[in-house]
Structure 1
Amino acid sequence: MSKLGFVYIMTNQNRTTLYLGVTNDLCRRIYEHKNHLIKNSFTDKYNLEYCIYFEEYARMDLAIKREKEIKKWNRQKKESLINKVNPKWEIAATEKGFKVASSFSEEIKNIMNQLKTEE
C-alpha cells in the first residue's frame, strides 16, 4: 500500500523566501523545519518556519511528480498558486496539525444556523 504524500511550501516571517518540499508526514516535517533539526539546510539558513501552502496526494509518487512540476515554476507563478487558496499567506499547517480555512468554518457556522432556524 502506498503512503500519502504532501507537497508543501514554507516561508519565513517576512515572507521573502519560499521553499518547496515533499514529505509523507507534513506535521513531522514542519516540526523539523521549525526546530532547525537539519542544520545548514536551506530552511535552516533562511528561517523558513511557516507552512503557507500544501497539497495532499493519495500516493507519494504523485506528490513527487507535482513537486518537480512546481519547482520549475518562477516565483510569480508559485505566489499565484499560494494566493488562490491562501491570499493572506496565513499558516496553513503546523507541527500540531492542519489549520481549518476560515471560509470552511464560516460555511459550517452558516449550516449550523440554518439547522437551528429549521427546528
Structure 2
Amino acid sequence: MRVSFVYILECADNTYYTGVTSNLEKRMIEHQGGAHPERYTAKRRPLKLVFFAEFTDINFAIIREKQIKKWSRAKKKALINGRFEDLPNLAKKNFS
C-alpha cells in the first residue's frame, strides 16, 4: 500500500499552494530548492508546510487536491487551523 499526501504550503507572498505527492519530504525539498523555476512556488519562497493529509488511494488524494484548490482562502485557513466544523459554511463567494 502506497501512501499519498495532499498538502498546503504558505508562500512568502502569503498565498497558499495546494499539491499532491507520494513523497512529501522529497517534494518539500524540490519546492524549497526551486527545482522547477517555472512553477508557482519557485518565486514565492520561502515556503511553509501548513497542512497535509495522508491517503491510501492516490485517486482520492487527487480528488481532494482538486477540491481544495477551488476553495476560498477562508475555507483553506479553516482547514489548516483544524476548524472542520466551519468548512461547510465557507463557500467561495465574495461577501462584500
Pick the TM interval, shorter chain: 0.7 to 0.9
Structure showing greater Rg: 1
- TM-score of the pair, normalised by structure 2: 0.78
Structure 1, gaps ≥5 residues long: 86-119
Residue 13 of structure 1, CA deviation? 4.3
The question of 1:5 aligning with 2:4 is answered yes
Once the two structures are superposed, the pairs formed by residues 79-94 of structure 1 within 5 Å of their partners are: 79-84=77-82
The aligned length equals: 83
CA RMSD between the two structures: 1.6
The answer to whether the Cα contact below 8 Å between 2:11 and 2:17 also exists between their aligned partners in 1 is no
The answer to whether the Cα contact below 8 Å between 1:11 and 1:49 also exists between their aligned partners in 2 is yes
The answer to whether the Cα contact below 8 Å between 1:53 and 1:82 also exists between their aligned partners in 2 is yes
SS state of the match for residue 30, structure 1? helix
Any runs of at least 4 consecutive aligned residues in structure 1 with deviations exceeding 4 A, and if so which?
none
The share of aligned pairs that are identical, in percent, is 39
The answer to whether the Cα contact below 8 Å between 1:5 and 1:62 also exists between their aligned partners in 2 is no
Q: What is the rounded CA distance, in whole Å, between the counterparts of 1:82 and 1:23 in structure 2? A: 18
- TM-score of the pair, normalised by structure 1: 0.64
Structure 2, gaps ≥5 residues long: 84-96
